[in-house]
Structure 1
Amino acid sequence: MVRLLNWRVAISGVLLSVGLAACSSTEEPDYAELQTFEEQVSVNVAWKANVGPGSDEHYSRLTPVYDDGVVFAAERHGNVVALNADNGRRLWRQNLTPATGFSLWRLFRKGPPAKLAGGLTLDGDTLYVGNESGMLYAINKDNGEIQWQSQLEGEVISAPAVGEGYVVLHLGNGMVVGLNAADGEEQWRHEEEVPALTLRGSSSPVISAGGVILGTNNGRAAVLVLESGQMAWDERVATPSGGSDLERIVDIDATPVVRGDQVYMLAFNGELVALQLRTGEVVWRRDYQGHRTPQVAGSRIFLTTSESHVVAVDRLSGNERWRLADLYGRSLTEPAVLSGQLVVADRFGFVHWLDRDSGQIIGRYEANDPIQVAPIRAGDKVIVMTIDGRLVALTD
């Protein structure tokens, strides 16, 4: 199976049109230059902290998580940390770097990486993270101790779903595995057909009402029975088209979003679709393409498209309410949703505040290093993580 391995090509969100080149030698830049704006939000740095060496040029989906005054973060080389959200002080650190017999590697900042890639997921007292070697770790959130670990038959490159006594993973080879949350023992597995060429990623599953909802690498939305892994229903979200394998990529890498009796799915080279959760019946479809997870707040869906447009869509009808195209080609993250604002970050290290009602840019912060994962809300702060393993807590 041929897969795209380089995040600069595969998951930039501009695979087919704009790429990650900073500019062409003979043409105008293929990304938006930043313009002046009317500042309504004054951004301040509350604290900074270093998690570890970071992801280098590997694409990372290791988004930090927040719970009860604590920020949890991880980076590719194996460091998992818990930090006080008020001041950034470290509460504990767990190093998942693989053992090498002699621990000389641990004396250096960069040893053989643990290749952490899937997570983080927090459920109850346990934090879950996996790696490209197929290892899933369950870590005590209070002290960082490993509760159990489970070796799987595929890369863990998306966040696990946890609920109703199960941990469910969508592996890089297309396999979906259900584990016992108490000890990591495999309970069932489901295999899906994977196209010849796919994006470097897998849709994180969602557990809801006794089912496992996920997007597949062949452009379908699927629901599995949680207790058995058997298929309940599936529905095509994106249809392959074009003469080459590259043009026919239809992965659903975005995490499904469940609200009430509906689930929302976004496909690369596909559509944004609202489906009935129990039957898979299509409620509405709209022509949006992307691999970033849509965010739902109230009656709105906020999403980042493949072209790095930020769009607000009515949740009930699918009608577009506004679109910001001023940041095209900057490989925007999905937005973090605040009370009256959205926050997105880009590959040049800028963090942008948008007005939720209009989409206008109202604030900005420069972190200096590229940002691949979405900002998160942590109490009264916004936390961003750069590719060099640095966390920055911002306030307005």
Structure 2
Amino acid sequence: MRSTLYIASGLAILLLAGCGLFRSKLPRPLPAPLVEIRPTVIMKVVWQGSVGKSQGFVFTPGVAEGNVYAAGADGQLMAFDSATGRSSWRVDVDKRLSGGVGVGSNLVLVGTQKGELLAFDNAGKALWKIELGAEILAPAEIDGATAVVRTADGRLFGLNIADGKRKWSYQRVTPPLALRSFAPATVARGALFAGFSGGVVSALDLETGRVGWESIVAAPRGSTELERIADVASAPVIDGAQVCAAAYQGRVACLDVSSGRTLWARDTSSSAGIAVDEKYLYVSEESGALSALDKKTGASVWKQDKLSNRRLGTPVARGKVVLVGDGFGFIHALSREDGSFAGRLATDGSALTAPPQVADNVVFFQTRNGGLYAVAVQ
């Protein structure tokens, strides 16, 4: 019997395969109160839209060719003008959606709870669909003629974007207990990089699915199955000649992109994800702290712990600040140099768990309640 542990913005849920859904909310530590700040940047909502609620899933907006595409669990798929927020089109797919949105040149992909991948063009016209046999939780990644899709059972599929036909598939054996990951693979340099249960990052050829290398970011340790969870549950980040990743109850590490050799590693725990800029690597830690590390050595630069237990999402660096959403609907701006608070913006009060997307100096956030926010920092 395989179990899956959900760690989504501080909420842990145990899924017993074949035995239905057993929901058990673990005791939550009280979130740190918001401290008074003196803003040094202006955070402005350029426009705001609304799609369906996520209903326990994580939906990431897709940005391509001047449009923002967003979806909700109720089956609504919408397109917005990225500059103005004007709704271009809306499609009701008449299915319960669970993952998305993947975007490419004239291609929009969303996944369903029943394991179907649905393809549309950038005008909302249905193109094709394919059944992959397991729930699709992460947005597809598209590069060239290939779309890479991840299913909830840990499989990766390489599909032809023209018709959805399968090129290859790949699967690692998962341990008895694992995190439920909403993270996509990362595509770059004709390869894809994906994190897995057991603290593993794998590099695969995009066209063939052949494994180039596998490396352990964090080895499982502990005496119980819960203690031994050490999953890479967020998307790896490519930074020049290195690929960096973080593991829950494990480490954050940067690896040589060609060989998988570990360049440096540092103990921490993160399922929310990391970001890099020209100097630093930023980690949203499980405790709620946001840390900056020297991306060349892993040395600590600063740590902001006044957001403890606020269930931070994936950070993103913009201008002089790093932005991060929390589980209570706030977007925080921290100085990239010392981690001090530079600004704060309230959204609709629901969790900001989806990784933010960036285009034309605007950062796009999607909330759990379906709010879509285009945010500029000045």
CA distance in 1, matches of 2:258, 2:211: 12
The aligned residue for residue 318 of structure 1 is 298
The aligned residue for residue 95 of structure 1 is 92
1:65 aligns with 2:62: yes
Asked if 2 retains the 8 angstrom alpha-carbon contact of 1:274 and 1:285, the reply is yes
Amino acid at match of 1:55: S
Amino acid at match of 1:88: G
Larger strand proportion of the pair: 2
Matches within 5 A, 1:123-272: 123-141=104-122, 143-201=123-181, 203-272=183-252
Partner SS state of residue 111, structure 2 = strand
CA distance in 2, matches of 1:154, 1:259: 31
The aligned residue for residue 387 of structure 1 is 368
The aligned residue for residue 19 of structure 2 is none
CA distance in 2, matches of 1:159, 1:127: 10
Partner SS state of residue 287, structure 1 = strand
CA distance in 2, matches of 1:241, 1:380: 42
CA-to-aligned-CA distance 1:240-297 (integer Å, 9 cap, x gap): 1122211111111111111222111111111111111221111111112211231111
1:118 aligns with 2:121: no
CA distance in 2, matches of 1:239, 1:303: 19
Asked if 2 retains the 8 angstrom alpha-carbon contact of 1:266 and 1:289, the reply is yes
Give the Å deviation of 1:14.
7.4
Identity over the aligned pairs, expressed in percent?
29
- TM-score, length of structure 2 as denominator length: 0.90
The aligned residue for residue 292 of structure 1 is 272
- Unpaired runs of 5+ residues, structure 1, are 24-28, 99-113
- TM-score, length of structure 1 as denominator length: 0.86
Which residue, out of 77, 91, 99, partners 1:80?
77
CA-to-aligned-CA distance 1:91-140 (integer Å, 9 cap, x gap): 01121123xxxxxxxxxxxxxxx1x2322222222122212211112221
Give the Å deviation of 1:22.
8.7
- Unpaired runs of 5+ residues, structure 2, are 14-23
Asked if 2 retains the 8 angstrom alpha-carbon contact of 1:271 and 1:285, the reply is yes
Partner SS state of residue 89, structure 2 = strand
Asked if 2 retains the 8 angstrom alpha-carbon contact of 1:202 and 1:217, the reply is no
Asked if 2 retains the 8 angstrom alpha-carbon contact of 1:212 and 1:225, the reply is yes
The aligned residue for residue 50 of structure 2 is 50
CA distance in 1, matches of 2:307, 2:164: 42
Give the Å deviation of 1:211.
2.5
CA distance in 1, matches of 2:145, 2:326: 37
The aligned residue for residue 358 of structure 2 is 377
Name the stretch that deviates more: 197-206 or 371-380: 371-380
The aligned residue for residue 2 of structure 1 is 2
CA distance in 1, matches of 2:366, 2:317: 17
Relative to structure 1, the CA distance from residue 46 to residue 129 in structure 2 (aligned partners, 3 Å threshold; closer, same or farther) is: same
Partner SS state of residue 178, structure 2 = coil
**C-alpha root-mean-square deviation of aligned residues, in Å?**
2.3
